Every structure is written in C-alpha cells, then in structure tokens.
Amino acid sequence: MLPERVTDVVIIGAGPAGSAAARVLAAAGRDVVMVDKAVFPRDKCCGDGLTTLALRELETIGFDPSDVPSWTRVDAAWLRSPSGHEVEVPLVGDGQFAAVTPRVELDAALVRHAVAAGATLLDGHAFAGLVDTDPAGETIAVEITGVGAIRARYVIAADGMWSPVRKALGGSTPGYLGEWHGFRQYATNVTGPAARRLYVWFEPDLLPGYAWSFPLPDGRANVGFGVLRDGTRKVQDMKTTWPDLLQRDHIRAALGPDVQMEGRHTAWPIPARIDSTTLATGRVLFVGDAATATDALTGEGIGQALLTGRLAAEAVLSGGGLDAEATRAHYRRHVADHLFADHRMSILLSKVLATDRAARGAVRVVALSGWTRRNFARWMFEDEPRAVAFTPSRWHRAMFRRKGAYAAEVR
C-alpha cells in the first residue's frame, strides 16, 4: 500500500483545460497535482486552430506564444461557398485574432507553463477510481495508477468527453458520441496558396459542417473536415469521404500539385452541449470536453477548454474554496455567463447553415462590403458578437473594435 498523498486540488487530465486550471491555482499559491495517462509531449487529434477566445485566454494565464515552435499567426480566412464563390475575411487589427499550432507542441508548452508556476505533473499515470469523501465532506480522494490515493479539497475533471471521473460518479451517458465528428490529417510539401492561407470550404455534402486547411510552417498544413452527427453519418463514411475531398479541384489547387499526406488520418468525436450537462457535483468540477464545452457552430474547443479551466480554478479560489456548494454555484454561474448565450446562438446559426441555399446566401452577405467581411470574421472567431443576440445587455459600441490578444507584443 502506498501512502496517501494530500494536496489542495488534483486535476485529472493535463490538456489545455487542466493545464489552465493548474496554472491559475499554482500561481495563486495552491498545491496542485496534475495527472494524465499520457506522457507529454503527446499528439491530440484536432484542427489546431486557435480562435480569438483561445488567444485571449492564453494571454490571461500569462502564456507566451514564443514557447510554441510552430506557432503561426493568421491574418485572414478564405471562405468558399457551396457555389464555388470565394471571399476573404480579414483578421487584422491591434493584436492577434487567430493562430494555428500543432497540439503536440501547444499542450506540452501549456503543461510546462503550469509546472513553472508550481504545479506537480504526474504524467503516465491514470485515474483508477474514487476512493471516498471524508465524513465531513471536506475532501475527496482519488486512486491513481502507480501513485496510490491522492486526497484533495477538490477534483477538477479535465479528462475528456468520456470522463472516467464522471463515470465513477455514476453520471455518464451510455452511448453518447458527441454532437460532431472531426477528421484530420497533416499535409506536407504544400506549395499552393494553402501554404499561407487559412481555408474554410462549405462543401454541399458536409453542411452544416465544413472542410478546412490551416497553414503551418515549412510547407505543412492541417487539413480536415467536420460534420454534424445526425444519426446517419458513420466513421466509415468519413473514411470514404476523405480521399474524395482531397481530389476535388479547388482543394487540390489550394494545396498544390506536389502535396503529400503525412502520417495517418485520425478522427475524433466533438461534444457540444454545455448548457445541458452537469458542470459540478460534490467537490468535482468538470472542464473542457468533460463539460461538453465545444462550440456548437465551429467545433472549436481549445478556447472553451482554457476558459472553463480558468473559471474552475477561480471558483476554487473564491471564498477560500471552503464551501463546496458556493464553489459549485460560482463555477456554474460564470460558465453560464460566458458560454450559454453563445451556445444557443451557435445552434441557431448551425441550423441556418444546414442547407446549400442558406450557406450560399450567408457567403454572399459576407462579401457585400469591407464592413461585413471584417465583422463576419469576428462572428466566426469570437464568442461575444454572437452572444449579444441573446444577451443584448452585453452590447457595447467598441464590441467590433475590441483589440485582439497580445496587442502589446513587439512585432
């Protein structure tokens, strides 16, 4: 029997959500242990895109983009209508509004960022189950493979959409496969315009989903597509769709004639039902994919992961974290304030974009003027402009002129 370890907070999962929570807590002087079954650096199947929300959250926790070797700033997105019409939407202004970075690099850098603040990392160890909560309900203990029991005031579950912590608490949903499918492969020797442009292709057979190509340094790109899980699409269908997509003329032209697909393609489920999931129970707070916090319109989840991780940490810090009920209420309230309105608007927009005709009309509207192109980019990459449709109290004159992240950086 290994001796029981005692800490303030144990975090299960060291991805962006877990690392953000660990960084905030450790910087505030709390003793924090991060546990992950993987050994970092490790890859994560993802589109690798960072929205303005993600960038602002990274800046909030003091993260330095220069710590990521392949960090690629993006100043415009190219949208292609189902009709074939293309429009450029600018992502320019003071600061950064979008970027691309491989998750193998970003996640490892975030772990280092949390450890530098004082968090302890136990990678290569997995959550094995709940041990108990003490009779007074003031702590909770978890069993970790190769480590033994760790007792803490709180557990932050950052352990993915099939959260083992949630399952141990009896709260998992059997058969849940997420709201979206994602499919990705890296490309090398990209010599077409996709070497420097971020593309979003609204393909008629993918709506309301889309295909993408996100640029990386040295002639590489992250290429993939996401589709809504509608009960008829299967992973095997995605494997069949993939080679067909890569052979479409406009995608071949964007990637260039000498492109080569690198490694293997991977697929992953995307959970997006933040407004109906259990965010906290007892002394456990769920964050990131464990909180099903992905954007229902774009499938982007890094920003939401960072945000929920930070909010969970701040909830634990509020009032000294002694009252579990108050901590849960603090976390739920702030997640709702930040994400619920945008989630509802995203679902509505996704339904609008579900048809060929609507998607064509949307791209035509985007292309009307410089103002529509510039501010549609804000709708794509920021949560606030979308959320005001359901929360008009959040409207302010500078909303569409807000600076991006890292606005003070020296260029």
Within a domain: 59: yes
pTM as predicted:
0.94
Domain extent at residue 253: 180-270
Please say whether the beta carbons of 110 and 50 come within 8 A. Answer: no
DSSP-assigned letter for residue 136? T
The answer to whether residues 254 and 165 belong to one domain is no
| R_g of the chain, CA atoms, integer Å | 21
The number of domains in the chain is 2
Q: Which of 244, 270, 296 is the last residue of a domain?
A: 270
Residues 6+ positions from 48 with CB-CB distance below 8 Å: 100, 101, 102, 103, 106, 214, 216, 222
The answer to whether residues 141 and 96 belong to one domain is yes
The answer to whether residues 22 and 141 belong to one domain is yes
Distance of alpha carbon 159 from alpha carbon 246, whole angstroms: 33
Q: What is the pLDDT along the chain (411 residues), one digit of tens a residue?
A: 677 999 999 999 999 999 999 999 999 999 999 999 999 999 999 999 999 999 999 999 999 999 999 999 999 999 999 999 999 999 888 899 999 999 999 999 999 999 999 999 999 999 999 998 777 789 999 999 999 999 999 999 999 999 999 999 998 888 888 999 999 999 999 999 999 999 999 999 999 999 999 999 999 999 999 998 877 777 677 888 999 999 999 999 999 999 999 999 999 999 999 999 999 999 999 999 999 999 988 888 999 999 999 999 999 999 777 799 999 999 999 999 999 888 888 888 788 788 899 889 888 888 888 878 877 766 666 655 555 555 555 555 555 567 889 987 644
Q: In what order do the strands lie in the sheet with 260-270?
A: 86-90, 76-80, 198-201, 210-216, 220-228, 180-188, 260-270
Q: Which of 270, 305, 332 is the last residue of a domain?
A: 270
The answer to whether residues 172 and 77 belong to one domain is yes
> Which tokens go with 406?
């890292």
Within a domain: 189: yes
Q: Quick one: which of 126, 135, 122, 123 has its CA closest to 167?
A: 126
Residue 152 buriedness (CB in 10 A; 0-12 / 13-18 / 19+): buried
The answer to whether residues 210 and 305 belong to one domain is no
Q: Quick one: which of 298, 211, 286 has its CA closest to 248?
A: 211
Residues 6+ positions from 108 with CB-CB distance below 8 Å: 40, 41, 42
Distance of alpha carbon 136 from alpha carbon 139, whole angstroms: 8
The answer to whether residues 210 and 190 belong to one domain is yes
The H-or-E segment that residue 138 falls in is none
Please say whether the beta carbons of 321 and 31 come within 8 A. Answer: no
Q: Which of 331, 347, 363 is the last residue of a domain?
A: 347
